[in-house]
Structures are given as structure tokens and as C-alpha cells.
């Protein structure tokens, strides 16, 4: 059998360092915790986690998750406000199915998470980009657009944004929550990096505003436990939860991941999830520092803000080089990255690249940045009249 049988989503050619990958490193996935969580489930002799699950998600899992989130956010979360998903992508997909029609307009940050753009495209949505700065979404620009058109929703990543790393300030969050009520549009806040904070305690999560009918917060275990579990959650106002819970997909298939949520429930209840997140933060902080040092050393002409959480550096290339041109040359040096244009809903951001420090250890991060420098130098030689 010569068939190619991929197991994981991304395969990296041997010897390559792809600094674009926004996945956790395999060795950071806590297999022993998950093995123990599974073993506990099987030992209980209660088979209900193998049955069609409650549409909103296993009640005891939501209770455990609510306690975890209450501690993490520093504000109370009720299990009734939580809805279990198969991850943020499935949550976004469901929101699009239930709350939009093809041709509807939504607002997205510029830059934004390029794979969310793909989900929105599958639902035929029209995207209007709203500029961002170092404090996140620019509200004046948002208000200008709101004067022209009311979007079905605004999709944003408020903490340690993908790709920019920026965090929306507390002041802007509050104004945004006012605006979504005044102008009646939905805020869909993808808060997947909220708990991966290193040098900044992020402002109040949008989850804390989810008593407001127009605010939905999305969370996930992909970044804080393991992506393969396909487990996440939404937090929303009760009538919104009711709408989600009674939809056809759930009525038919039952809750989204009864088996994996039963496994994760134990990991939360025994406090291991919190410990694991602390250990991830230590690891990622060190890698972030390494990447920062390597960038200063090898790419002093690149401009960026040091991220304070999450997975990503967002660089403006030295001499405003074109990232897509650079990418074709990077192959030769066995290095890769994600060009900025992929994060633009309007084909812009060509001088930017996203680098991730989640997937590699410090030594490879340094080597990867060094190879980026070689790639840039190779390019530059063509323009250097002295050679």
C-alpha cells in the first residue's frame, strides 16, 4: 500500500522549521493527564458518556467548567450559561448557520484569524474589515462603518490576538458592549488565548458580559489541553443558549462531544488543568523570550510589539519586504512562516508575517529566525547595487 496516510493536519518536510504553525508542540500535549482522565471515566462503570449526550453538554462537565472559568475570569460563571462545542470552529460554524444568511454582512478585525475567514466564506457572508491598533479594534472606525451598515455580528479575538498579539483594552471592551446593544449587532468573541497570558493580565473577558444578549464568548481546550479532543464551549445569555440547544444538529446528534467532555471533566475537577496551564505559561514565556532575542539579533530591522500572551509574533518586515515573495525563497533555506496577506480580508498586509513560538523548542526557534535572516539577505542581494 503506497497510499499517503496523514494523521495530523500539518506535515512538515524533514529538516524544515515552519515558524508559521499555530499548533501546540506534540510534546506539550499532556497525554498522561488525558490517559488518567479516560481511565477514571471507564472505572466509574457509568456508561452514559458513551450515549447520545445532553444537547447543551454534560451537566456535570458544565458545572466543573463553570467553576474553572469563575476562578480564571475572577467573576462568577453559571453552568446554565455554558454550551459545549467541538471547538471554536464548530461554534463559529453553528453561529453562522443559526444567526446568518448568505449575503449577510459581518465585521472582522484587520488583521484577523485567516481560518475563521474560510468558515465565514463557506456561509456566503460578506466581510467588512475594521482596522486595529495596539489597543485592539479601532472604535472610531467601527462607529463609522456602523453608520453605514448594521452587521449580523462582529468577530474578534480580544486577547493576544491571532495574528497581531494585541489585546483590546478594558475601556474599548466596555464601549463595544454598549455599542452592540445600541446598534443591535452580535459580538462573537473568540477568547481562545485568554488564559495564556504571560506578562499582562488581560482585561475582563467578554464572557463576563455574556449576560448581555448580544455577546457570545467562545472558548476551547485546543490551546490549554489538546486539539485532538475537539472540545470547547460557548458562554452566552440564556435565551441565546436555548436557541443553540434546540437546533436541528443537536436535536439529532445530541450534545457535541459527550465522550471527551467526560474525560476532561475529571482533569478539571482534580485541579490538573490549572496546573497544566501554569506549566504551559512557563514554557511559552521562555520561548517567547527566545524568539524576541533571536529577532533582535538576526532581524533588527523588523518591527513588532512584544506579545504578552498567546502564540504569535506579528512582524513588519525589514525594508517593507513582500512576505509572499519571501516565502517562495524561504523554501530554499528550509524555513517557513505565514504571510500577512492571509490574515487580511482585503488582500493587504503584504509586509507582515506571523511567527509562532508554540510549536518549536527554543533551539529550533533561534535556528528558524536565523534562516529567515538568510532568506531576507538572499532577497536583498538582488537589490544591492554593491554586489
C-alpha cell at 290: 527566545
Nearest distance from C-beta of residue 213 to a second copy, angstroms = 20
Interactions with a second copy, residue window 309-328 (CB under 8 A) = none
Nearest to a second copy of 160, 304 (CB atom): 160
C-alpha cell at 105: 454582512
Interactions with a second copy, residue window 240-259 (CB under 8 A) = 247-249, 251-259
Nearest to a second copy of 203, 266 (CB atom): 266
Nearest to a second copy of 48, 305 (CB atom): 48
Binding status of residue 276 toward a second copy by CB under 8 A: no
Which position among 18, 19, 62, 73 is part of the footprint of a second copy (CB under 8 A)? 62
Binding status of residue 230 toward a second copy by CB under 8 A: yes
Nearest distance from C-beta of residue 31 to a second copy, angstroms = 5
Residue among 138, 214, 140 nearest 169 (CA): 138
Our CA dihedral for 93, 251, 43, 233, rounded to 10 degrees, sits at 30
Binding status of residue 102 toward a second copy by CB under 8 A: yes
Of 59-67, 144-152, 367-375, 376-384, the segment contacting a second copy by CB under 8 A is 59-67
Binding status of residue 86 toward a second copy by CB under 8 A: yes
Which position among 71, 121, 149, 306 is part of the footprint of a second copy (CB under 8 A)? 121
User: How many residues are there in the chain?
Assistant: 387
Query: Helix axis angle, 272-298 relative to 258-269, nearest 10°?
Result: 90
Of 176-184, 205-213, 228-236, 326-334, the segment contacting a second copy by CB under 8 A is 228-236
**Alpha carbons 66 and 225: distance in angstroms, whole number:** 17
Half-sphere exposure of residue 257: CA atoms within 13 angstroms, side-chain side = 21
Nearest to a second copy of 94, 376 (CB atom): 94
Half-sphere exposure of residue 255: CA atoms within 13 angstroms, side-chain side = 28
Nearest distance from C-beta of residue 247 to a second copy, angstroms = 5
Phi-psi region of 179 (alpha: psi -120 to 50; beta: other; left: phi over 0): alpha
Nearest distance from C-beta of residue 320 to a second copy, angstroms = 29
Which position among 16, 40, 79, 145 is part of the footprint of a second copy (CB under 8 A)? 79
Which position among 70, 97, 331, 346 is part of the footprint of a second copy (CB under 8 A)? 97
Beta carbons within 10 angstroms of residue 138's beta carbon = 16
Binding status of residue 4 toward a second copy by CB under 8 A: yes
Nearest to a second copy of 117, 286 (CB atom): 117
Query: By the 8 A CB rule, do 317 and 303 touch?
Result: no
Binding status of residue 226 toward a second copy by CB under 8 A: yes
Which position among 68, 84, 93, 298 is part of the footprint of a second copy (CB under 8 A)? 93
Q: What are phi and psi of 219, to 5 degrees?
A: -130, 170
C-alpha cell at 349: 498586509
Residue among 383, 355, 302 nearest 19 (CA): 355
Phi-psi region of 347 (alpha: psi -120 to 50; beta: other; left: phi over 0): left
Q: Euclidean distance between the first and final Cα of the chain, in Å?
A: 51
Which position among 17, 20, 82, 90 is part of the footprint of a second copy (CB under 8 A)? 90
Amino acid at each position: 500500500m503506497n497510499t499517503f496516510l496523514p494523521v495530523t493536519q500539518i506535515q512538515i518536510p524533514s529538516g524544515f522549521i515552519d515558524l508559521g504553525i499555530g499548533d501546540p508542540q506534540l510534546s506539550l500535549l499532556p497525554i498522561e493527564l488525558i490517559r488518567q482522565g479516560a481511565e477514571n471515566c471507564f472505572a466509574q462503570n457509568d456508561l452514559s458518556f458513551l450515549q447520545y449526550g445532553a444537547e447543551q453538554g454534560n451537566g456535570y462537565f458544565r458545572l466543573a467548567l463553570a467553576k474553572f472559568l469563575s476562578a480564571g475570569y475572577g467573576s462568577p460563571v453559571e453552568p446554565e450559561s455554558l454550551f459545549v462545542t467541538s471547538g471554536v470552529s464548530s461554534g463559529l460554524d453553528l453561529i453562522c448557520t443559526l444567526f446568518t444568511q448568505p449575503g449577510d454582512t459581518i465585521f472582522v478585525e484587520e488583521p484577523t484569524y485567516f481560518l475563521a475567514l474560510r468558515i465565514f466564506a463557506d456561509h456566503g457572508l460578506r466581510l467588512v474589515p475594521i482596522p486595529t491598533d495596539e489597543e485592539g479594534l479601532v472604535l472610531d472606525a467601527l462607529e463609522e462603518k456602523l453608520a453605514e451598515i448594521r452587521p449580523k455580528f462582529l468577530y474578534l479575538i480580544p486577547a493576544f490576538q491571532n495574528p497581531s498579539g494585541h489585546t483590546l483594552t478594558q475601556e474599548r471592551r466596555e464601549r463595544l458592549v454598549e455599542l452592540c446593544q445600541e446598534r443591535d449587532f452580535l459580538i462573537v468573541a473568540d477568547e481562545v488565548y485568554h488564559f495564556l497570558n504571560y506578562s499582562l493580565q488581560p482585561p475582563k473577558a467578554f464572557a463576563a458580559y455574556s449576560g448581555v444578549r448580544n455577546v457570545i464568548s467562545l472558548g476551547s481546550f485546543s490551546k490549554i489541553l489538546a486539539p485532538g479532543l475537539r472540545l470547547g464551549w460557548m458562554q452566552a445569555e440564556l435565551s441565546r443558549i436555548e436557541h443553540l440547544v434546540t437546533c436541528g444538529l443537536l436535536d439529532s446528534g445530541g450534545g457535541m462531544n459527550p465522550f471527551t467532555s467526560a474525560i476532561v471533566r475529571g482533569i478539571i475537577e482534580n485541579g490538573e488543568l490549572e496546573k497544566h496551564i501554569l506549566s504551559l505559561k512557563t514554557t511559552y514565556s521562555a520561548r517567547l523570550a527566545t524568539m524576541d532575542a533571536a529577532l533582535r539579533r538576526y532581524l533588527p530591522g523588523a518591527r513588532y510589539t512584544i506579545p504578552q500572551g498567546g502564540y504569535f509574533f506579528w512582524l513588519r518586515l525589514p525594508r517593507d519586504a513582500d512576505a509572499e515573495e519571501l516565502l517562495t525563497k524561504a523554501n530554499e533555506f528550509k524555513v517557513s512562516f505565514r504571510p500577512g496577506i492571509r490574515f487580511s480580508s482585503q488582500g493587504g498586509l503584504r509586509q507582515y508575517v506571523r511567527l509562532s513560538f508554540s510549536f518549536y523548542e527554543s533551539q529550533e526557534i533561534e535556528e528558524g529566525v536565523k534562516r529567515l535572516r538568510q532568506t531576507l539577505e538572499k532577497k536583498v542581494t538582488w537589490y544591492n547595487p554593491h554586489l
